[in-house]
């Protein structure tokens, strides 16, 4: 009976882990292709900003690669990333979009799911009219242990079909991590989403609750997901970089060769990812450390028996 119970727990945990990983993996292509759409618009509307946008995009995408594999990141990290992402939005919308964001979180230990602010900012821009005559005001602030993203409500008359990635993604990831809910507040002139700021204790509680599950199975599954993420990122790099070079050659051949910025910026992110997958978890990394620890423990056991 106990054996069946452990097996059932393993299946439940494995299913939850797979679902969480699938939700995180939605973020990478979603962010990348939305950013390329913005870049295409900039080339037509503001060619001089396309170069700056590409440089900023390489920094932003590096953060996406580094953070999307994590369950939680600090609120301070998300706020800094949100500022970088806002600077990209300002390049396209200029004075048509206005931001109000705190410098730091009131509790430096508080955490949220990664890329939650970026998804909420993108959601606000996608669903509302953003013009010089009707600027979009977006405010980020804390209230009652939550981080709130609020904007004035001026919905677009015609909306493109939603991809389904965004608010629902954030809500589902929170459901797998905590009992605290993501709350939505819609009024006549405003729309707000409040995401829970989790403490270190919450994540520890979740970790210890599954500590009885087969550690080897969990580690192997995690490593497979990291391999999949790396190869997807590599394929994306091989597709997008030639596309950016084509854009430079076709539209801005007389300007600085700005495509080198994403080549190096994104490339460095890929190197970090490769190190994590093939070195940190491989021959020179944690697996090597674990083998050595096991060897020393076995030697000590032999000595004790003698």
Query: pLDDT digits over 251-305, tens only?
Result: 778 878 878 888 888 888 888 878 877 776 554 455 555 555 556 555 654 544 3
pTM of the full structure: 0.61
Contacts for 242 with CB less than 8 Å, ≥ 6 apart: none
Across 149-153, 164-168, 201-205, 248-252, least confident range: 201-205
For the chain, the structural domain boundaries read 70-213
Residue 42 tokens read as 């900039």
Phi-psi region of 139 (alpha: psi -120 to 50; beta: other; left: phi over 0): beta
The architecture in CATH of the region 70-213 reads 2-Layer Sandwich (3.30)
Spatial distance between the Cα atoms of 98 and 225, rounded to a whole number of angstroms: 38
Q: What per-residue confidence (pLDDT) applies to 210?
A: 44
Q: How confident is the model at residue 169 (pLDDT cuts 50, 70, 90)?
A: confident
* Comparison of pLDDT for 218 and 104, the residue scoring more: 104
Q: Which two tokens stand for residue 156?
A: 């677009």
Q: Please tell me the predicted confidence (pLDDT) of residue 35.
A: 65
Q: Is the pLDDT of residue 208 over 60?
A: no
């Amino acid at each position: 009976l106990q054996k069946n119970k452990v097996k059932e727990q393993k299946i439940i945990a494995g299913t939850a882990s797979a679902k969480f990983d699938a939700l995180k993996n939605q973020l990478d292509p979603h962010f990348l292709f939305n950013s390329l759409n913005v870049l295409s618009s900039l080339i037509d509307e503001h060619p001089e900003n396309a170069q700056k946008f590409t440089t900023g995009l390489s920094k932003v995408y590096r953060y996406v690669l580094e953070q999307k594999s994590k369950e939680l990141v600090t609120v301070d990290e998300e706020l800094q990333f949100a500022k970088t992402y806002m600077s990209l939005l300002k390049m396209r919308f200029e004075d048509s979009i206005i931001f109000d964001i705190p410098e730091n979180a009131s509790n430096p230990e508080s955490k949220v799911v990664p890329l939650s602010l970026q998804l909420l900012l993108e959601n606000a821009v996608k669903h509302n009219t953003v013009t010089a005559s009707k600027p979009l005001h977006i405010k980020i602030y804390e209230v009652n242990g939550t981080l709130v993203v609020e904007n004035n409500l001026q919905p677009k008359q015609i909306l493109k079909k939603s991809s389904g990635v965004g608010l629902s993604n954030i809500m589902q990831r929170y459901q797998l991590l905590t009992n605290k809910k993501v709350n939505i507040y819609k009024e006549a002139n405003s729309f707000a989403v409040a995401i829970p700021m989790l403490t270190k204790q919450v994540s520890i509680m979740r970790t210890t609750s599954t500590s009885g599950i087969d550690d080897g199975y969990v580690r192997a599954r995690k490593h497979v997901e990291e391999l999949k993420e790396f190869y997807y990122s590599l394929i994306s790099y091989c597709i997008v970089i030639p596309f950016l070079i084509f854009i430079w050659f076709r539209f801005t051949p007389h300007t600085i060769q700005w495509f080198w910025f994403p080549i190096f910026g994104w490339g460095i992110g890929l190197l970090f990812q490769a190190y994590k997958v093939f070195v940190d978890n491989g021959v020179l990394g944690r697996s090597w450390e674990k083998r050595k620890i096991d060897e020393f423990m076995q030697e000590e056991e032999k000595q004790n028996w003698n």
